[in-house]
Structure 1
Amino acid sequence: MRGDGAGHQDAFKSPFVERRTYRRRRLMDIARLLPILGALLFTVPLMWPNPDPYPAPGNHGGMATSAAITYIFAVWGGLIAASFVFGLAVRLWAGHWTEGGPQDDKS
């Protein structure tokens, strides 16, 4: 019997789950990690040193605000592109991984 009470008493205790369930859980894990990755990438400019208002000759003294804004918009665009690609990949893979799906029920 499984530890969570599900299943039959005669069922074999297996540490593995169905391939379909495993793949679906991995897709959910990837979907959960994308916002966390985005939050980490958005915090990178907070670690950049502030530009020095009176830099010494030949010393930049930090990152300019325009560079930080450019970085933020590049990360934002990259996250949008990554979400779009992930959505397309899930649409293509889901039918294969779950052995059909709603597309097969149309006939």
Structure 2
Amino acid sequence: MAQDGAGLRGKPLVFLERQSYRRRRVIDAARVLPFIGLLLWLLPLLWREEGAAAVRSSSAIVFLFGTWFALVGAAAVLSWKLAAQAREPGGAGPGGMGE
């Protein structure tokens, strides 16, 4: 039987370097962040208080601004991680992938 790097079912084994894998997960998180933000911003529309037809606007505004601050913080952390990974030897260049 020939050893061509194939797995048990004939599919090639996939191996990603640890840095490349982490970089891709950070990029994925940066891509998903706007959708998470949109879902969080729409969440106050689902709130219901007992005996009230609408949500108090003060609590909704506090939630929206808190969500906004959290999204800004998450984006800053993801940006910092991507920049730090790009500065590492063998890190991603301007194209986004370090090859």
TM range (shorter): 0.5 to 0.7
- Mapped pair 1:71 → 2:43: no
For structure 1, list consecutive stretches of 5 or more residues without a partner in the other structure.
1-10, 54-61, 103-107
Tell me how large the CA RMSD over aligned residues is. 2.8
Relative to the length of structure 1, the TM-score reads 0.59
| Shift in Å, 1:52 | 2.5
2:38 partner amino acid: A
2:72 partner amino acid: I
Distance in 1, matches of 2:48 and 2:92, equals 51
Show structure 1 runs of 4+ deviating over 3 A: 17-21
For structure 2, list consecutive stretches of 5 or more residues without a partner in the other structure.
6-11, 94-99
If you compute each CA radius of gyration, which structure gives the higher value, 1 or 2? Answer: 1
Report the identity percentage: 35
Relative to the length of structure 2, the TM-score reads 0.63
| Shift in Å, 1:66 | 1.3
Distance in 1, matches of 2:70 and 2:57, equals 20
Give the count of matched residue pairs: 84
Pairwise mapping of residues 5-84 of structure 1 onto structure 2 (< 5 A)?
12=5, 13-49=12-48, 52=52, 63-84=55-76
- Mapped pair 1:92 → 2:91: no
